[in-house]
Amino acid sequence: MNKAVIAIHGGAGAISRGQLSPEREREYVEALAGIVETAQAMLEANESALDVVTEAVRLLEECPLFNAGIGSVYTADARHELDACVMDGNLLQAGAVAGVRHLQNPVLAARLVLERSPHVLLIGEGAEHFAEREGMPLVENSLFDSEARYQQLQQARSVGEVSLDHASAPLDEQNKTGTVGAVALDMMGNLAAATSTGGMTNKLPGRVGDSPIPGAGCYANNASVAVSCTGTGEVFMRTLAAYDISALMEYGGLSLQEACERVVMEKLPALGGSGGLIAVDREGNVSLPFNSEGMYRAFAFAGDAPSIGIYRE
């Protein structure tokens, strides 16, 4: 008998206690708590894992603290390009969008791709036209503008760097990652995962990372696990990090914790990859490993008090 559970993340990186004021820390904790509690209530109402992770990520996209949706960073041409993926572990269905500029909630567009198209991944204008035909309004790219993110772009330009970003105040500007995600196991035993991102500060227009790629930054399979990743996307793509967790469990016989530790603490660092992931297996076990200094994260079992963390415990 599984125990329904939701886990969310808001990015990983060099999150220093010295850089994060008590007031700012409280903002993150309150945001994570509110979102995980909403998702927990959905699980307790017997809603599907797919609906729960979609809503959790939509709420994360709406929170400017995180690098997804409203909080997204700037590309090298001072615009915003957003990516998202959702995956249903029951039927191994996935939907994703990449490089969209005019959709307020990319995760909702990804869900539409899953449910109402014969495809898995749509990009750019094609994804936007599809979403608009399916009832999603288009928005101005300036909706995602913020002064703090623009200053990050200016700083990145001044030193010629491309930065994985998360949020302005608490992260070391030289070492930061930015994605949001959710994984869940529902009362029926179904797993689902969702991941969304605003990408990298000062990235080349058209760059796509691991977040919208099933198996790289997002994966769910009822036979094993649901995973959402956050970190150096190119390395997560090269290692198929999310799927590798599932494969190590299904074919290698590893436990959830063993598989996550192998990928996050061994395989990714070997290629220079930093960050973390959240994972829930088919029995309701939870793992939230990261090899960076911190990761914004929360999880909650149905009927239990949520657990929220930022730093290493």
| Distance in angstroms (rounded) separating the CA atoms of residues 210 and 229 | 8
Model confidence band, residue 313 (pLDDT cutoffs 50, 70, 90):
confident
Average pLDDT (282-287) is 98
DSSP type of residue 152: H
Average pLDDT (222-247) is 97
Model confidence band, residue 277 (pLDDT cutoffs 50, 70, 90):
very high
Residue in 107, 102, 85 with CA at minimum distance from that of residue 35: 107
pLDDT at 2: 66
Say which range, 95-99, 156-160, 259-263, has the weakest mean pLDDT.
156-160
DSSP type of residue 266: I
pLDDT: which is higher, 164 or 155: 155
Average pLDDT (209-236) is 97
Average pLDDT (136-163) is 91
DSSP H/E element including 126 = helix 124-133
Model confidence band, residue 300 (pLDDT cutoffs 50, 70, 90):
very high
- In degrees, rounded to 5, the angle at the alpha carbon of residue 92 between the alpha carbons of residues 88 and 95 is 60
Model confidence band, residue 89 (pLDDT cutoffs 50, 70, 90):
very high
Average pLDDT (171-181) is 61
pLDDT at 169: 40
pLDDT at 164: 55
Beta strand 191-197 with 180-185 is antiparallel
pLDDT at 163: 60
DSSP H/E element including 242 = helix 241-250
pLDDT at 177: 55
| Distance in angstroms (rounded) separating the CA atoms of residues 129 and 113 | 12
Q: pTM of the full predicted structure?
A: 0.94
% of the chain exceeding 90 in pLDDT: 88
pLDDT digits (tens, 9 = 90+) for 29-67: 999 999 999 999 999 999 999 999 999 999 999 999 999
Active-site residue set: 179
CA dihedral 259, 260, 263, 265 (to 10 degrees): -120
